[in-house]
Structure 1
Amino acid sequence: MNTLTCCKTLFLSTALVALLFTAVAAADVEESETGVTFPETLKVGDTTVKLTGTAYREKWFVNVYGVAHYGDPAAKPEATDTRGKLDHWHKVKAAKAIVMKFVRGVDIGKIQDAWEETLEKGDYQGDNKQSLLDAFKTDLKKGSYIRFEATADGTLTAIQDDATLGTWKDPELVEVLWGAWMGKDVVIGGQKNLVSREL
């Protein structure tokens, strides 16, 4: 192989690597308040769900986590206003996901308290309250994530840092949990941005 051929091969290889890195970078979306990034798509069961938007949670003026919501494009809302879109994803029985990426550590007691408060606020009447709370056993470190996945039949899966914590077939539990981000009078910053992207 002569020098010219080697140079051409090296150039093409470098260009291909640069293109691949650009494609990967373009596939992530940054939540502007926290700086955390989220992929454009996820898999929930056999369904590819798409990012509908991002927001953030802060407490005492300190950012706690960035959050992203995903939904099945086949179940996209007919509503065009923000409140209508939030209500749709709150209640629709479709493949969807919530992902929280933490920018500071949170001890497990506070996480359990947050879920308990969410279930009480949503007037959850089902049998899986304690099971959900007990599923969370490990403190969250900076960089940790929690992911809730829901399928069209109302099956909820909770995941923390790649470990599946539990699965519950409970449509009411899905709806009440989604209310923490999609409901009215929530403590999420930039809530309208959770449904700002077109599917």
Structure 2
Amino acid sequence: MSDEIYELLVYEEAKNICVASLSPAIKEKTITINGVSKAYAMTGWRIGYALGPAHIIKGMTDYQGNTTTSPNTPAQYASMEALANSRESVEMMRAEFDRRRKYIIEKINAMEHLSCSTPKGAFYVMPNVSHYYGSQYNGIMINNSLDLANYQLEEANIAVVTEAAFEAPDHIRISYSNSMENIEKGMNRLEEALSKLNP
């Protein structure tokens, strides 16, 4: 199963390679999952699709037809329009995401105790926050990335997500799908809140 929901949101020299395109043998074994929520900014509309061997897709369709209702009609028509006629808008959005991505990476890597590799796709960065483990502020102890995420929410009024569920327990996830103005405010609040933590 190949999740390619971010196929159009890649940066620099990165390219999305569809797993099913690697060979006819792989194509016969691959189910490709995609949708409109990320590249077409239609999160919440819940429109996705799967491509794969006909007998598997038929089984999926039969199962789905007996367990859930279909997406609403306006969402289906909007998704068809997005897929057929929105590449220019997607490219404009991708370029704006790239600008925000570069800003956040530069800002994070300029902070004394944070480090972050540069992502090549999607709209998240994942800085390593393990330096702050064992620190505290105002009686709040930071023992892991969840503690740090909760601290940021309480102290800086910004929402970040721990990456422990994604096998990166020393990292938090910051989305750059918001406006540049809000990102700048959020990054300043993040830095200020971090500066208050003492070992």
TM bin (shorter chain): under 0.3
Q: Which has the higher contact order (CA 8 A, sep 6+)?
A: 1
Which has more strand, going by share of residues? 1
Which has more helix, going by share of residues? 2
State TM-score, norm by structure 1. 0.27
State TM-score, norm by structure 2. 0.27
